[in-house]
A and B are shown apart, each in its own frame.
Chain A
Amino acid sequence: SAVISQKPSRDICQRGTSLTIQCQVDSQVTMMFWYRQQPGQSLTLIATANQGSEATYESGFVIDKFPISRPNLTFSTLTVSNMSPEDSSIYLCSVPGQGKETQYFGPGTRLLVL
């Protein structure tokens, strides 16, 4: 199975600031996905991080708010910009497993915006 790490694991931030979340995978993957899980809610896909090209955003999410970098096949960052309390969520990165039989998730970054 893929080993995925995220940094930071949690953070408390002030409104109006930005936070960059890192996702590191122990193997090369073509696609990496970023999801958001608001308190008590399900997971919603934010965007697909493509290596060597711009990220693809889902409806309701924009690059100015959630800029994504994908400098290589094992690493990606998601920035939550100009944060407000509504951005308080768990942010998870996800990658396909070997043989594409599974989809694995990182441990998540718990963000609280005051």
Chain B
Amino acid sequence: AQKVTQAQTEISVVEKEDVTLDCVYETRDTTYYLFWYKQPPSGELVFLIRRNSFDEQNEISGRYSWNFQKSTSSFNFTITASQVVDSAVYFCALSPLIIQGAQKLVFGQGTRLTINP
């Protein structure tokens, strides 16, 4: 069975601090995809990143960076110099199967991140 665990239910930091959101996953698939989504208070899900299981290179996009470690089944997300606008619930997700190119996602429980001014 596939499972995604986000052990941090809530995180609160002061603006400009760096913060790391943890994600650990379980799967028996040899090929899989990992995602991060942001859900701001408005409720929509904003796609942040998708990584393939065979590509363990870390990714950086502006203040965002992702650390994928297959050996520990982790896909952690770091926000550098956090801003109040980063306040949201962040979901890590796993795609256990590709059906004609589309993905059925298994989501973690989410981490509510609050950035205080």
- In the complex the two chains form, is A33's CB within 8 Å of B102's CB? yes
- In the complex the two chains form, is B104's CB within 8 Å of A108's CB? no
> Within 8 Å of chain B (Cβ to Cβ): is A84?
no
Partner of B100 from the list A31, A97, A104 (CB cut-off 8 Å) is A31
Q: A residues 70-114 with Cβ under 8 Å of B?
A: 90, 92, 94-97, 100-105, 107-108, 110
Partner of B47 from the list A33, A41, A103 (CB cut-off 8 Å) is A103
The interface bits of chain B over 43-62 (1 if a CB of A lies within 8 angstroms of the residue's CB, else 0) are: 11101001000000000000
Inside 8 A of B109's CB, which chain A residues have their CB? 41-42
Docked pose: A41 CA to B50 CA in angstroms: 22
Shortest C-beta distance, B42 to chain A (Å), equals 8
Inside 8 A of B50's CB, which chain A residues have their CB? 101-103
> Within 8 Å of chain A (Cβ to Cβ): is B32?
no
Docked pose: A48 CA to B97 CA in angstroms: 13
- In the complex the two chains form, is B102's CB within 8 Å of A105's CB? no
Considering only CB atoms, which chain B residue lies closest to A10 in the complex?
A: B43
What is the interface of chain B, defined by CB distance below 8 A to chain A? 35, 37, 43-45, 47, 50, 91, 95, 98-110
